[in-house]
Structure 1
């Protein structure tokens, strides 16, 4: 039962990390595109 619980929380942790990494990566991509767009307008 403890092993099952550990596996469950481990899976949640992995999913959380992946979601966080994807969110940060897309945010940085949007930030970079915004900066380049602003530079082009100048």
Structure 2
């Protein structure tokens, strides 16, 4: 059992929700960086 097989078995909707939430956090940090002029990474 390797990790890729386990990943494929995960529900696709749940996987997309995780990726979308990470993506929005990334966008928010970029917009904060652009607004304040200082890096705002988590």
Q: Same fold (TM over 0.5)?
A: yes
Could you tell me which runs of 5 or more consecutive residues in structure 1 were left unpaired when the two chains were aligned: 1-7, 38-42
Max Rg structure: 1
Aligned length: 29
Q: Which has the higher helix share?
A: 1
More RCO (CA 8 Å, sep 6+): 2
Could you tell me which runs of 5 or more consecutive residues in structure 2 were left unpaired when the two chains were aligned: 1-8, 38-42
Please report the TM-score for the alignment, with normalisation by the length of structure 2. Answer: 0.62
Q: Please identify runs of 4+ aligned residues in structure 1 that moved more than 6 A.
A: none
RMSD after superposition: 1.5
